[in-house]
Amino acid sequence: MPRGPAPGAPALTEPLSRERHRILHSVQDRLEDVAKTAVAVMRTEIPSYALQDERFFDDVRDQVLAHYRMQLAALAGDRDIAPEDLVFSRAAAMRRARAGFALEDWISAFRVGRQVLWDALLDCAGMSAEAQQAALSLVTPLMRYVDYASTHAAQAYVEYEQHVVADADRERRDLLDQLLAGTAPARGPLLAAAQAYGIGPHSPMMAVVAVCVGDTRTGDPTSAEHGYATSASIGIAGPWAGRTLVVVRHGEVVAVPVVRTGMDAEDICTHFEAVQRRLAREGTMLAMGISTVAKGAGELPRAYEEARAALDLVPSDGGVAALPRLSPFDYLALRADDLARQLVDPRVRALLEDDRRRGDTLAATIRAFAEADLNLRLAADRLRVHHNTAHYRLRRIEERTGRNPRRIADLLELLVALAIRDGAGEGEDHQ
């Protein structure tokens, strides 16, 4: 760090130089009290500091004194400041970061220390014009020291946080890999990590797999930014207390929510559906597959494969396929391939396609009739039409397809054809 006045500043006259050294020596004589004042102000103005014990403040006082001594030496022109001189400050920054203090708190401490030292310099200067001018000559080098030292501290914070993030990512990946192998950790750091997420050997869990299928902002759905944005959004607390294990891996985001006491699978589905919709509003289009409940770590590999299989049910423009919301019938219909579609009678397929263009009234009648257990009056009531209208619709379906909805076999065939038709639709919400 350069010493003395900033480049381009005029050299001090002899009287000003004498005044400047007098001020610095006066502050040096009372430096212990100045440091004590700085610590007291930090304790008052920085909320996270106010909660600490005396051992912490002993460390802070040592740091403040070390900085003040180095600043006074630099201001007196006795020495230049090199990065190795600030090793003590970087070590302290690491300690604060490790203890969970925010970087802004550490920078606030620098601000307080600078202000208290400046007040002490002014107080020791006195009121004469020459003394005030000498004190003002200290402003630039004082600010340059604070900028230099705080920059090194900030770099230490960033290095530590990068280290912590890398370690946390690695720990989460290792934990997920072990869970996907069908076993819960029994000891060591991974056991502690699993417990932090509420995961035990017999905890009921679900698997959620999400992939980005589109981005209206950048047009690049493969960007790593999407994975981490999705990961952060999923990690936000839902209808449960506690954290959720979320890992970005192999182009997908995998979450393992625990079904906690008082919850059920529907709560999980609702939360992740809300996440998908929120990200869609922000421009990130996701496809999400949600498994059924795994009764412990031993079943989690099966749940993960279910979630991946559920992704195949999501339309190409994104959405959520939640297996707990599907019946076996729905699942089989949604998984139908081209051969299954070809096996649908052309007359039935033509009716359903024509009906879709006309508002799906016949499809609604087929569903309502099945849900009413073939009770035509009940189906008509649910459709809010006269029962004669419902009767006419059934007769029309039979005339055009050769299938009588009153016969179980024919009704089942119509329902399968309808489910296959809807499952093949692009851009629809298949939940």
Helix (H) or strand (E) holding 325: none
Helix (H) or strand (E) holding 205: strand 204-205
DSSP 10: P
In what side-by-side order are the strands of the sheet with 319-322?
Answer: 245-249, 252-256, 208-215, 284-290, 319-322
* Residue 236 confidence (pLDDT): 54
> In angstroms, rounded to a whole number, what is the distance separating the alpha carbons of residues 231 and 252?
10
Q: What 3-state class would DSSP assign to 245?
A: strand
Of the candidates 84, 80, 62, the residue with the CA atom closest to the CA atom of residue 71: 80
Distances in Å between the Cα of 124 and the Cα atoms of 112, 113, 241 are 18, 17, 55
Query: Which residues contact residue 344 at a Cβ distance below 8 angstroms, ignoring those fewer than 6 apart?
Result: 416, 417, 420
CB 303 within 8 A of CB 205: yes
* Residue 110 confidence (pLDDT): 85
CB 367 within 8 A of CB 383: no
* Residue 296 confidence (pLDDT): 92
* Residue 430 confidence (pLDDT): 40
DSSP 85: G
The mean pLDDT values, 10 residues at a time, for the chain of 431 residues are 39 82 92 94 90 89 90 77 74 76 83 91 89 87 83 74 65 90 89 87 93 66 54 57 78 89 89 87 86 94 93 85 82 68 86 90 92 92 92 93 92 87 54 41
**Residue whose token pair is 């309808």:** 418
Helix (H) or strand (E) holding 174: helix 139-180
DSSP 381: H
CB 364 within 8 A of CB 415: no
* Residue 335 confidence (pLDDT): 65
* Residue 431 confidence (pLDDT): 41
pTM above 0.75, yes or no: no
* Residue 242 confidence (pLDDT): 60
Instruction: Outline where 76-138 has alpha helix (H).
Output: 87-98, 103-125, 129-136
> In angstroms, rounded to a whole number, what is the distance separating the alpha carbons of residues 186 and 293?
22
